[in-house]
Amino acid sequence: MLTGVVLLATACTGQEQEPRREGDASGLSGPLAVFADQELAWDECESGAPGTECATYEVPLDYDDPGGERIEIAVKRLPSEGDDVIGSLLVNPGGPGSPGYDFVDHASSKVSDPVRERFDVVGFDPRGVGRSAPLTCMDAEGIDEFLGGVDGVEGDGDMSEVTDAELAELQEDSRDFVEACQANDPEIMMHMGTANVARDMDVLRVLLGDEKLTYLGFSYGTSIGAHYAEQFPERVRALVLDGAVDPSQGQLELSVQQATGFETALRAFVEDCLGGPDCPLGGSGDSVDDGIEALRGFLADTAREPLGNTMDDREVNRARAELGVLAALYSEGWWPRVREALTAATEEGDGTLLLQLADALYSRGDTSAYVNSTAALIAVNCSDSSSPRDVEAYVEAAAEAGEESPIFGPSLAWGALPCAYWPEEAVAPEREFDAEGAAPVMVVGTTRDSATPYAWSEALAEQLDPGFLLTRDGDGHTGYRMGDQCIDTHVDSYLIELTVPEDGMVCA
């Protein structure tokens, strides 16, 4: 892991720290005022880290009809043990579809000791996720088939160009998924957008007694924070948006652009692999391009003859093998595991480890989480921005993404196809994000981030009027608590003291 060396000069400014306010938070008025009358009845959690407390609160299913149906949001907190508590730090790990409720159990590793001493760490499952009115579309078997790729794939499985039969199957699978959502949970699927999640978070802020919001969001969690700053700029105390998503792009555009991030991460992994002993992709005399070509050859072989595994009867075809490799690119710490998985696959014909990596990406170890996280991922992505309704746009996007990332690009583009069939009335209107009037907002970007390309962090920091960019020059997804002391120090100082480093600060 890279060390924390500041490459650009600092010009820090301090803002006056705001004291904690108990039960006197502003914000809810008119028909929403009734939601401020709730109390969070904290109780010992049924499971989780020692000392955590759990509660629920209610929000409108539809904010345009606040007197109508309500849904329940699950929330967990780890109270601060310090004597000088500033307030609550709300956290979200990303996804979409990842539970913020369970994320609090990992606060000791995800949030620094100085921050935990000054804040209660609070996480909630966004609407439609986990314990908060979870959206269900397909059962586990159905999702296995949905994620398992095209049954009738021909040749080497390269999806940058598809046959008529393959295209028909892709369309049918996507329509079937959306129809399953409509059949199982027609109400919640219509209100899954992140703008609603941000409003739910504002209700929680009020119930916690915080006049302004302090928030730490990773990956998709940055979208929640950006929506909050746009809707409630005067209620922002400090927002850390780490591994940003660019809110100005549609879902298909994001999928194509995401291919560049995974391609950058893949090349870093292959270079590292080739530099060590017994790399399954070649030796020290081979170039990165040679190693990637070896990986492409291996994946093509799995399309023609899938691997077996020792866990169940699923075939490790190209789609599942790709997911296994892609999952390991989220963190440099997973690189040894994918090397081991590729070695077992290429030398022994055993796809078990690759399948385990793919399963971890979608939380398949917990059937309920697996079923819900996939549904929530697609529902939020399709709800947050408009997508083309013409399948030819996806054909073109797959080809374009294949040029940027021959291995992962086409699959990422096709992954957006369900949005072509998502109910149009559930899709948020286009909007610009500038959060004018908000306090300074920290955007953290990692130069070789796999899942959220660095360019997205640059774009978000530029779009937000109060945004400033802090850069981690390194590998892996997100920057805070990833081993770079420089990043951690600046994030901690901003959250606690509201210290703003110079815009464009780079840590390496």
Cα 448 to chain center, whole Å?
A: 16
Exactly one of 219, 223, 373, 457 is catalytic; name it: 219
CA angle 133, 386, 61 (to 5 degrees): 25
CA distance 222 to 281: 35
Closest CA to 456 of 94, 125, 104: 94
The answer for residues whose C-beta is within 8 angstroms of residue 47's C-beta and 6 or more apart is none
Is 219 part of the annotated catalytic residue set? Answer: yes
Q: CA nearest 290: which of 307, 278, 265, 273? A: 273
Instruction: Spell out a b/e string for 191-208, using b for 16 or more CB atoms within 10 Å of the CB, else e.
Output: bbbbbbbbbbbbbbbbbb
Q: Is 106 a catalytic residue?
A: no
Chain CA centroid to CA 83, Å: 33
CB 97 within 8 A of CB 477: no
Tokens 């013409």 identify what position? Answer: 390
Largest CA distance in the chain: 69
DSSP conformational letter for 316: B
Which residue in 449, 484, 488, 492 is the catalytic one? 449
> What own/partner pairs with CB < 8 Å and gap ≥ 24 does 68-74 have?
69/187, 71/127, 71/132, 71/133, 71/188, 72/132, 72/133, 73/124, 73/125, 73/126, 73/127, 73/132, 73/133, 73/200, 73/204, 74/101, 74/124, 74/125, 74/130, 74/131, 74/132
Residues contacting 296, CB < 8 A, separation 6+ = 406, 407
CA–CA gap between residue 6 and residue 284 (Å, rounded): 32
User: Which is catalytic among the residues 450, 477, 484, 490?
Assistant: 477
**Spatial strand order in the sheet of 87-92:** 43-44, 53-60, 70-78, 119-124, 87-92, 213-218, 236-242, 441-448, 467-475, 505-507
Type of residue found at 161: E
Residue positions annotated with a catalytic role: 219, 449, 477
